[in-house]
Amino acid sequence: MPVTALRGQIVYLDGNPFERDPQECLVHHPDGLVIMEAGRITAAGPYAETAPLLPAGVTPVHYPDQLIMPGMIDTHVHYPQLQMIGAYGAQLLEWLNTYTFVAEQQFADAAHAAMVAQVFLRELLRAGTTTAVVYCTVHPQSVEAFFAESARLNTRMIAGKVLMDRNAPAALLDTAQQGYDESAALIGRWHGQGRQLYCVTPRFAPTSSEAQLEAAGALLRDHPGVYLQTHLCENPAEVAWVRELFPARQSYLDVYDHAGLVGPRAVFGHAIHLHEGDFCTCHARGAALAFCPTSNLFLGSGLFRLAEAKDPRRPVRVGLGTDVGAGTSLSQLQSLNEAYKVTALAGGRLDAVRAFYLATLGGAEALYLDDRLGRVAPGYEADLIVLDPKATPLLAFRTGYCRDLTELLFTLMTMGDDRAIRATWVAGACLWDRDTGAWAMDSARRGQD
Amino acid sequence: MPVTALRGQIVYLDGNPFERDPQECLVHHPDGLVIMEAGRITAAGPYAETAPLLPAGVTPVHYPDQLIMPGMIDTHVHYPQLQMIGAYGAQLLEWLNTYTFVAEQQFADAAHAAMVAQVFLRELLRAGTTTAVVYCTVHPQSVEAFFAESARLNTRMIAGKVLMDRNAPAALLDTAQQGYDESAALIGRWHGQGRQLYCVTPRFAPTSSEAQLEAAGALLRDHPGVYLQTHLCENPAEVAWVRELFPARQSYLDVYDHAGLVGPRAVFGHAIHLHEGDFCTCHARGAALAFCPTSNLFLGSGLFRLAEAKDPRRPVRVGLGTDVGAGTSLSQLQSLNEAYKVTALAGGRLDAVRAFYLATLGGAEALYLDDRLGRVAPGYEADLIVLDPKATPLLAFRTGYCRDLTELLFTLMTMGDDRAIRATWVAGACLWDRDTGAWAMDSARRGQD
């Protein structure tokens, strides 16, 4: 593997700004250098100090005045819903029946799945997201297609086959046993293969019987280290339905807890209508919540209570999710724009440092990957993005008035989108270059063909 | 003036979809032709029927598969705040003191005002907005600069000098008499000059004494046909302050009504915390409200109640506003994206036809300009935009799955931004062409210099 290097402003979080002074958590090298080899960062710091470590013959790619940051992490997204982003006019349960379950049936076709997986992963990279926790469909071939494409790109992705054995169209149902077996086979093929990680994926309590939730718990016990993702307390009608379906459980979260699903590496999407006791359980178990602002607003689901989730007496791990297709953008900058607005509507504030934490290191901590993702530091995996403060004429005008780095970051999250991603580097290689519009893997693939 | 012509899909609203079946209000010519002369549309309709009217030698500019629509209308925006879009972390009153009043003081400098006016008007056109109702600052030179640039572009703009005689920094205050005199002079110079229209602009009740509000009323009486803009019921603390400042008035709107400011061509920004009686007054008087979703979310002001404003028993005229700098985008597509979300959060739905109505014909009706703006029809002013359903790779992918025009429009408002504006035509001339990145007036200006 060749050595590569980037020069520019390095910016990242080195601590949790919900627990420490945000400014103290922010690392900033105005003229920085990152050296990468074999997919990892081998050195990073001020240019003057780090340049002597450059091997002879390696010329850094220079992004003057641009920000080199860790690739962003999307903790909740459905790749099969890319073709139905922004489907009109329904709250959660109607929206699932009218749009989602129709689109997902197409993923029985492996060719369709492969086509969408390719588009989806490129759009993620274009938006600056290098790691995502991804729902596939009930079809094992949808998972195959996704991991195969991710393996080609060498991206670190976490994904799994949806488990549903009731309350969905017959073509989208498995059974508790079939779901277990297919998931176990996919874990064997993909978990830990290169950078791919498997995620056991019961869609949500209403579409899994108690037996299937128990089977999901068995998958977690039988395969230590795999992830768990599902939905939790997104919508009042959904919460009421779960109460009907599981009358013996104390809360929606308790349905999952009872099946052994609430622990480290479990990611619960939404968690809008959560009670204090459930926050305490998540804290105690080390489970994470995915805050999905564009989706929650689009479906009219409600306002996630970030300040409450981060209550210092029992802080809960929180990542940021786009939740495409109910979310309206794959850009985590846009997610942060709306995360700020959700917080403002609830009377609070989300500052830029905490915001970028949610999209980078905070996401890595939610996923127990903060030993390898979320920092621009030696030993970390070399997934980096380059942010351009002058990406559009209006951004160039506006950021000319920014007085400091924090204001610049805030402006980028308020006004930025995929255009602000000048380049995306994955495992030390530049996969996306905005200014040339070139995908590195196209030339590589042409070479292979 | 040369004859110009555009060919493509023509789409516009020909009626009020809040009062009639939305689908019946939508006009769609899948292959349409617009012919323009002397700033107006002379013919528009299906290509086959309209082409015979083309003068010899005129070749239409062809935008196959793209949508030719009326230019969008922004009924509430502050051009001097362009440099502070997305200023962090405050609700209305603190935000004004910390950021707005600081930025606005720079507009004492006519050169600064001219520079910002140029950037602002170009950004409006890039976003597809051809008419806006614009706050300048207290300085007459800020108005001069704005109208001078708009006159150069030949855009139809409505703007005025801010009136403030209390509760703001001394450098931004006028007096009731000075405000009257300066406004009257500007009206004489600009109202009805070409396409420019004047708007009497008391910022809001807290920064104008009763004497100044009376003077604003006198300006309206002494100059029939001018506009009135101000802010109304944006934020609970502001509403409480107005109650303290004007204890004799029955409501915030009544403060303005008492001064004779509530009538046709009056535009009240925000109107979030409005009572039924105030809606009735607006309806009876023919005054309009500006719904500013990105701003209301950004400042955490609250949720505008569109369905209530449009109650068929006493419908109120409503336009759409960006309210930049508290709004986060000049793109009315983005305003509609968040208008949908605000409506969803309140348990309602905003369909695509009603949404585009708000941004086009509905805005024209709010401003009593629907005899000349908001339709693609003969006699109308030739302000047109060309929308590109494949503006980004993701839009191209997503719109490939759209089944009808309504879904396409909804997708454009959910996922579109300034990139979706392929071209902007003003008074029959193409001012902005996205694909060449060229501003027509630059070559014209070079020719003049």
Torsional class of B374: left (φ above 0), alpha (ψ -120 to 50), beta (otherwise):
left
Those residues with Cβ within 8 angstroms of residue A242's Cβ, 6 or more apart along the chain or in another chain = A205, A206, A252, A255
For residue A132, give both structure tokens: 């995502």
How far A407 CA lies from chain B's nearest CA (Å)?
Answer: 8
How far B211 CA lies from chain A's nearest CA (Å)?
Answer: 35
Tell me the torsion sign for CA atoms B202, B208, B212, B213: positive
B345 in contact with A, Cβ within 8 Å: yes
* Cβ atoms B54, B44 nearer than 8 A: no
Cis peptide bond upstream of B286, omega within 30: no
Share of chain A above pLDDT 90, in %: 93
Quote the pLDDT of residue B443.
65
Quote the pLDDT of residue B441.
79
Mean pLDDT of the A191-219 span: 98
Residue B188 CA, chain-centre distance (Å), reads 23
* Cβ atoms B84, A394 nearer than 8 A: no
Q: Could you tell me whether strands B197-202 and B26-37 are parallel, antiparallel, or unpaired per DSSP bridges?
A: unpaired
Residues 101-130 of B with CB under 8 A from A: 119, 122-123, 126
B447 in contact with A, Cβ within 8 Å: no
Nearest Cα residue to A204 out of A158, A279, A256? A256
Cβ of B414 within 8 Å of Cβ of A82? The answer is no
At residue B244, the 3 state secondary structure works out as helix
Q: Provide the whole-model pTM.
A: 0.97
Those residues with Cβ within 8 angstroms of residue B26's Cβ, 6 or more apart along the chain or in another chain = B11, B12, B13, B14, B17, B353, B405, B406
Cα separation, A394 vs A384, in Å, equals 25
How far A92 CA lies from chain B's nearest CA (Å)?
Answer: 11
Cα separation, A142 vs A140, in Å, equals 5
Strand partners, B443: none
A341 in contact with B, Cβ within 8 Å: yes
As for the ipTM of the complex, it is: 0.96
Residues 4-23 of A with CB under 8 A from B: none
Residue of A104, A105, A394 to mutate, testing the B interface (most B Cβ within 10 Å of its Cβ): A394
Q: Specify the long-range contacts of residues A89-97, CB closer than 8 Å, at least 24 apart.
A: A89/B349, A89/B351, A90/A299, A91/A235, A91/A237, A91/A299, A91/A300, A91/A301, A91/B344, A92/A234, A92/A235, A92/A237, A92/A238, A92/A299, A92/A301, A92/A326, A93/A235, A93/A237, A93/A238, A93/A241, A95/A299, A95/A326
Cα separation, A200 vs A229, in Å, equals 6
- Count how many pairs of residues, chain A against chain B, have C-beta atoms within 8 Å: 118
Q: Nearest CB to A417: which of B122, B300, B417? A: B417
Residue A248 CB-density burial (10 A; 0-12 exposed, 13-18 middle, 19+ buried): exposed
Average pLDDT, chain A: 96
A2 in contact with B, Cβ within 8 Å: no
Nearest Cα residue to B48 out of B26, B33, B65? B33
B300 in contact with A, Cβ within 8 Å: yes
Band (pLDDT 50/70/90 cuts) for residue A385 is very high
Quote the pLDDT of residue A444.
56
Kindly list the residues from chain B whose CB atom is less than 8 angstroms away from the CB atom of residue A336.
none
Residues 347-366 of B with CB under 8 A from A: 347, 349, 351-352
Note the pLDDT tens digit of each residue in A25-68.
Answer: 999 999 999 999 999 999 999 999 999 999 999 999 999 999 99
Those residues with Cβ within 8 angstroms of residue A301's Cβ, 6 or more apart along the chain or in another chain = A91, A92, A234, A235, A270, A272, A295
Mean pLDDT of the A153-161 span: 98
For residue B271, give both structure tokens: 């109107």
Strand partners, A332: none
Cβ of B83 within 8 Å of Cβ of A338? The answer is no
Q: Where are the alpha helices (DSSP H) in A223-366?
A: 236-245, 252-258, 276-285, 293-298, 306-309, 332-345, 352-359, 361-366
Phi and psi at residue B153, in whole multiples of 5°? -80, -15
Query: Of A58-62, A94-98, A177-181, B162-166, which gets the smallest average pLDDT?
Result: A94-98
Q: Nearest CB to A300: which of B337, B344, B417? A: B344
Cβ of B418 within 8 Å of Cβ of A300? The answer is no
Cβ of B345 within 8 Å of Cβ of A123? The answer is no
Residues B316, B319, B324, B327: what is their CA dihedral angle, to the nearest 10 degrees? 70
Cβ of A329 within 8 Å of Cβ of B88? The answer is no
Quote the pLDDT of residue A247.
97
Q: Nearest CB to A119: which of B298, B397, B417? A: B397
* CA angle (A184 as vertex; A278, A153 as ends), nearest 5: 90
Note the pLDDT tens digit of each residue in A282-303.
Answer: 999 999 999 999 999 999 999 9
B328 in contact with A, Cβ within 8 Å: yes
Cβ of A86 within 8 Å of Cβ of B297? The answer is no
- pLDDT per residue rounded down to tens, chain B (449 residues): 689 999 999 999 999 999 999 999 999 999 999 999 999 999 999 999 999 999 999 999 999 999 999 999 999 999 999 999 988 877 888 888 889 999 999 999 999 999 999 999 999 999 999 999 999 999 999 999 999 999 999 999 999 999 999 999 999 999 999 999 999 999 999 999 999 999 999 999 999 999 999 999 999 999 999 999 999 999 999 999 999 999 999 999 999 999 999 999 999 999 999 999 999 999 999 999 999 999 999 999 999 999 999 999 999 999 999 999 999 999 999 999 999 999 999 888 999 999 999 999 999 999 999 999 999 999 999 999 999 999 999 999 999 999 999 999 999 999 999 999 999 999 999 999 999 988 887 765 544 43
Helix or strand (DSSP H, E) at B220: helix B210-222
Q: Could you tell me whether strands B162-163 and B227-232 are parallel, antiparallel, or unpaired per DSSP bridges?
A: unpaired
Q: Could you tell me whether strands A129-135 and A156-160 are parallel, antiparallel, or unpaired per DSSP bridges?
A: parallel
Cα separation, A252 vs A317, in Å, equals 18
For the stretch B333-352, what's the b/e string if a residue is b when 16 or more beta carbons lie within 10 angstroms of its beta carbon?
bbbbbbbbbbbbbeeeebbb
Cα separation, B293 vs B295, in Å, equals 5
Cis peptide bond upstream of A325, omega within 30: yes
Residue A14 CB coordination number (10 Å): 15
Cα separation, A35 vs A12, in Å, equals 16
Cβ of B338 within 8 Å of Cβ of A297? The answer is yes
For residue A310, give both structure tokens: 């981060």
Chain A residue with Cα closest to B412: A86
Mean pLDDT of the A150-172 span: 97
How far B406 CA lies from chain A's nearest CA (Å)?
Answer: 10
For residue A303, give both structure tokens: 């306002």
Chain B residue with Cα closest to A401: B83
Those residues with Cβ within 8 angstroms of residue B115's Cβ, 6 or more apart along the chain or in another chain = none
Residue of B342, B345, B412 to mutate, testing the A interface (most A Cβ within 10 Å of its Cβ): B345
Kindly list the residues from chain A whose CB atom is less than 8 angstroms away from the CB atom of residue B418.
392
Q: Nearest CB to B88: which of A83, A347, A407? A: A407
Chain B residue with Cα closest to A415: B328
Residues 157-196 of B with CB under 8 A from A: none
Residues 365-394 of A with CB under 8 A from B: 392-394
Cβ of B393 within 8 Å of Cβ of A349? The answer is no
Kindly list the residues from chain A whose CB atom is less than 8 angstroms away from the CB atom of residue B237.
none
* Cβ atoms A366, A288 nearer than 8 A: yes
DSSP B100: I
B201 in contact with A, Cβ within 8 Å: no
Q: Could you tell me whether strands A384-387 and A288-291 are parallel, antiparallel, or unpaired per DSSP bridges?
A: unpaired
Those residues with Cβ within 8 angstroms of residue B293's Cβ, 6 or more apart along the chain or in another chain = B304, B320, B335, B338, B339, B341, B342
Quote the pLDDT of residue B90.
74
Query: Of A83-92, A361-370, A418-427, which gets the smallest average pLDDT?
Result: A83-92
Note the pLDDT tens digit of each residue in A310-320.
Answer: 999 999 999 99
Q: Quick check: A445 pLDDT over 70?
A: no
* Cβ atoms A290, A339 nearer than 8 A: no
For residue A120, give both structure tokens: 């989806």
Q: Could you tell me whether strands B72-78 and B129-135 are parallel, antiparallel, or unpaired per DSSP bridges?
A: parallel
Kindly list the residues from chain B whose CB atom is less than 8 angstroms away from the CB atom of residue A85.
394, 398, 411, 414-415
Cβ of A85 within 8 Å of Cβ of B329? The answer is no
